[in-house]
Structure 1
Amino acid sequence: MTDDKMTIDTSAELMENDALPQTREVHTDPNAKPVTQGQLPRALAEPATKKSPAQWAYERIILYIQNFEKQLDNDHEVGMGLTGSDTGVIRIEGLGYYDPDIITYYGTNQSGAKTQLIQHVSQLNVSLVASPKHIDQPEPKRIGFQLATALDRSEDVTS
């Protein structure tokens, strides 16, 4: 109830609100920007029930990568730390999904070898790491911003 007026949601509105994404973040730093601050890309305004688990995970990972990159200086790029192997950190150069349940990360490791991680959404575990950019590279690559642009397009985000 607001302003002494009672509002009643229709059953369709209740179901839609249940399917729309919800998030909550708490930080010790009062200036920390939550991943969902500001306007969400068009793709994330669609109900999650209309998406495969892979597409839904892919879209949210993009937001986290983009938000992480906003906090980096010009000497660092986003990398991904891996556990359970000796691969170490991968510089993220691409991200994709394969319906209904596979997420894949493309990149290079610290020694420059091409690397791809293929992960089932039930095993999703990503550690974003600030990685130094290449010394001969004038500007850091910002993959999160490129990926987020695709989420705002009306066509399929994988194109």
Structure 2
Amino acid sequence: MQPTVFQQALGAAFFRLPDSLRLLHSNRGRTRWVGRASVERGRNPLARLCARIAGLPPAGQDVATVVEFDCGPARETWRREFGAARMTSVLGLRDGLLRERLGPVSFRFALHANDGAIWWTVAGARLFGLLPLPASMFDGVRCREYEQDERYHFEVDAALPVAGRIVRYAGWLVPE
């Protein structure tokens, strides 16, 4: 059986992660995870525009959250539902970097496993798959996956120069 995208990206470090992270990132085929999340959105008009273009969820506290994963060895599709809001991204691996397409932006992330967590660091981005954007533009993007109380937890915080905070969402998931 071929390793999953995250097993390939993290190598041996994958197998030292907490159980909930290994379980979520060992998915093959279609699975659903459910939980709760809170979402904060930036107030700057430019931040609101960026969030709308990327298809990010609206603000809400303790929102029912569902993520459907469709995973193969070369590509994963994540369909997230934060209440009634939907957000889909497609992930793959190329040149050792995780690639995620979210709306018109394609990100390249370096993944690091450290202290029982997976940290995502932006290594580059492209707009519409063509226009390269400097990685330094995304220094305010921070993503972390970790285990707490034997559950998978996630935190995503994204801020851009001039626009400020675009979105921050955090929560937990368990297999359905």
- Structure 1 length normalisation: TM-score? 0.30
Q: Which has the higher strand share?
A: 2
Q: Which structure: greater helix fraction?
A: 1
What TM-score does the superposition give when structure 2 sets the normalisation length? 0.28
Higher Rg: 1
